[in-house]
Amino acid sequence: MSFDFFLPCPRGLEAPLAAELAEIAAQHLDGAAFTAGAQVPGGVHFRGGWAAGMAANLHSRLASRVLLKIAQRPYRSEQDIYALALEQRWEQWFSAHETLRVDVTAIKSPLRSLEFTTLRVKDAICDRLREKSGARPSIDTAMPDVRVFAFLTATDCTLYLDTSGDPLFKRGWRLDKGAAPLRENLAAGILRLTGWQAGTPLYDPMCGSGTFLAEAAQVALNIAPGVERRFGFEKLKQFEARSWQALKGAALEAKNAARSSRADLQIFGSDISGDMLEKARANFERAGLPAIALKQLDARDMAPPSSAPGILVANPPYGERIEVRGRNARGELREGRGNRDDDGFRRVQEEAPDSEFFQLLGNALKQRFTGWHAFILTSDRKLPGQLRLRESTKTPLFNGALECRLFRFDLIAGSVRQRPQGETPAA
């Protein structure tokens, strides 16, 4: 039996997600049904059996969820949506003993209240289950057993049953977050966009809690991103325990092999904050990763951590969200808006923090990282100008609701493309 699945992802990652899904099908589905579908803004469709849905949950590093399409129909009113939800055979999927949560998202819907629409979908599912089994499920918005998503366009309503449970960027091992961590699936998507391959040196000079590094190490060691967690589909009636055990068993075996691996991962990180590095170390340990080389260092003093050139990737502090730290040009440490870290390190705000910091960071890249390719994610479009470097490409990406660019700088010997001071970057 085949189903239509939709995998939402951070906007900008649709093409890499489609490529990842094709790889998952080739590597883990053993010829089981899988047909690639359309890429749409914010996600990718595919058609396949239960095994494909389970494998996507277990192995996708880029998807936010795996949603199973239940029904789709044009609508005009909340009543049309209630009728659509009431017709569906929810009793085939879950019973009234499971707790339920309904979410509605919409683009250009003519309906006035999404809250009211959410209530109507919930009512329809509860009415259906009461009619079929005599009992209504309870609602639990915090930790539901089952989630239903309704997606409204200007004309159509699509109902999805969630097979993931917690969103997939929750890998199940992270406790220490740090100040502004990237979501794991965005970090994994950026790694794919850089073209980084296991074995090539990878360096994050502002690694914070280590999201890029942990994702890269899991790729290098072939550790499935979902091997440490549970999924929504485990609570559904259609759950195929036997094929799930086979899929998960293979993933656990790969993870155990990784634990004893002595491979030189060539993955390196540094950060100015020792406190952040402690968080990163704790995260790597919880994720079952071998030690990753970390150093406490101001990024302006960075140097290549490997003899061969590689990929540098970072999301530096920007704007109000998190401050650049360190001494200013006169060597002064100034108290910033923040507080002392646990290790006594002072959060500081420089007088002209960003421009001075990024100019010196650009100098470090130009002078010391010949042959490297640097990828920097930021919401600040002026970054190349501040670094005094000309980008080779810029890829729009969304970090949650924040519109960002992934700038690529090719630091090729003798041809580092410098941006003249004062030149305004194109949008």
Ligand X SMILES: C[S@@+](CC[C@H](N)C(=O)[O-])C[C@H]1O[C@@H](n2cnc3c(N)ncnc32)[C@H](O)[C@@H]1O
Give contact residues for ligand X (rule: CB under 6 A): 178, 180-182, 206-209, 211-212, 271-273, 276, 298-299, 315-317, 322, 324-326
**Cβ atoms 32, 224 nearer than 8 A:** no
**Cβ atoms 92, 70 nearer than 8 A:** no
Q: List C-alpha distances in Å: 267 to 41, 51, 205, 298, 306.
A: 32, 33, 11, 18, 9
Rounded CA separation 427/418 (Å)? 18
* C-beta closer to ligand X: residue 117 or 283: 283
Q: How far is the CB of 216 from ligand X (least distance, A)?
A: 12
* C-beta closer to ligand X: residue 182 or 416: 182
* C-beta closer to ligand X: residue 207 or 416: 207
Backbone angles phi, psi at 154, to 5 degrees: -60, -30
> What tokens appear for 243 in the block?
């094929």
Q: How far is the CB of 294 from ligand X (least distance, A)?
A: 12
Backbone angles phi, psi at 257, to 5 degrees: -65, -35
* C-beta closer to ligand X: residue 10 or 181: 181
Rounded CA separation 222/104 (Å)? 36
Rounded CA separation 11/44 (Å)? 11
Dihedral, CA of residue 23, residue 163, residue 193 and residue 292, to nearest 10: -90
Q: How far is the CB of 274 from ligand X (least distance, A)?
A: 10
Residue number closest to ligand X, CB atom: 208
* Residue carrying structure tokens 């949008």: 427
* C-beta closer to ligand X: residue 261 or 379: 379
* C-beta closer to ligand X: residue 125 or 267: 267
Q: How far is the CB of 315 from ligand X (least distance, A)?
A: 5
Q: How far is the CB of 348 from ligand X (least distance, A)?
A: 9
* C-beta closer to ligand X: residue 317 or 362: 317
Listed in sequence order, the residues at least 6 apart from 188 whose beta carbon sits closer than 8 Å to its beta carbon are 61, 62, 215, 219, 225
* Residue carrying structure tokens 């969630």: 162
Q: How far is the CB of 46 from ligand X (least distance, A)?
A: 29
* C-beta closer to ligand X: residue 137 or 269: 269
Rounded CA separation 349/351 (Å)? 7
Listed in sequence order, the residues at least 6 apart from 282 whose beta carbon sits closer than 8 Å to its beta carbon are 175, 176
Note the helical H segments in 369-405. 383-387
Q: How far is the CB of 207 from ligand X (least distance, A)?
A: 6
Q: How far is the CB of 388 from ligand X (least distance, A)?
A: 17
